[in-house]
Amino acid sequence: MRKGMSHGARSAMFAPLDQLGRAEAVTERLVDAITFGLLADTERLPSEAELAAQFGVSTVTVREALVALRQLGLVETRRGRAGGSFVKAPAGPSTQSWQDALRAVSLGDLRDIGDHYAAIAGAAARLAAERSSTEDIQRLELAAADMRGATGAEIARAERQFHLEVAAAAQSPRLTREEVQLQRACGGLLWLPLTPGERGALTTHREITAAIARGEGDAARELTEEHVLDALALLAELHLDLVTP
């Protein structure tokens, strides 16, 4: 997996907090950045002072957040000249955990999740086709390529990062934040590392990227909505298998 994130994605993830001094909010943002794959495994985090400046909080607040991240097993702190806080990407959910989560929701809930996500992701793709820069397209191409050879949790992270990069390419901070919130709420369920696997998603991501690069907003939106709804259909089938005696 490549390291780093686009300026738009970084701006959304590291924007100043609405309420200052909240270690929980800083922790949540950093957990999102790590689980979405925006911060890569072994990547060194910015210093406490840099994080404090980006989030608009005190260094004490950042320090508390890093303690929480270490307790969650998402950050490792090393001492010495080459020390600092380094990302520890999480393993994917166990089969039992995602089955329990999927069993707990209804088909109506799944449909509602898919409709909401498809609307946001589709709108982002359409706007990205109208507004994206050459650099944005390059970022999308790299994000699409991340699906090649991905396995297990890497598949889910590549899916989530690709759609976040699409939202960032739409040049809408509010839309990017909405994508982040939706991924936090349902992305872990929607983008499970399940069949048809990385090959189909790699092709779809490339098709979406190509439509955005050509400035074909309607095509980019339709492809994205179909991609989300295909994932939803697979979840619905799995849900029925789990709840049917």
| Distance of alpha carbon 114 from alpha carbon 228, whole angstroms | 7
Average pLDDT for runs of 10 along the chain of length 245: 58 60 82 79 91 90 93 89 86 74 87 91 97 95 88 81 93 89 78 60 93 98 94 88 85
Structural domains of the chain, with CATH: 7-87 (1.10.10.10), 95-243 (1.20.120.530)
How far apart, in Å, are the Cα atoms of 234 and each of 83, 128, 170, 237? 44, 27, 28, 5
SS3 193: coil
| Distance of alpha carbon 125 from alpha carbon 225, whole angstroms | 9
pLDDT at 40: 81
- Whole-model pTM? 0.75
- Write b or e for each residue in 154-171: b if 16 or more Cβ atoms lie within 10 A of its Cβ, otherwise e: bbbbbbbbbbbbbbbbbb
How far from each other are the two terminal CA atoms of the chain, in whole angstroms?
A: 40
| Distance of alpha carbon 242 from alpha carbon 239, whole angstroms | 5
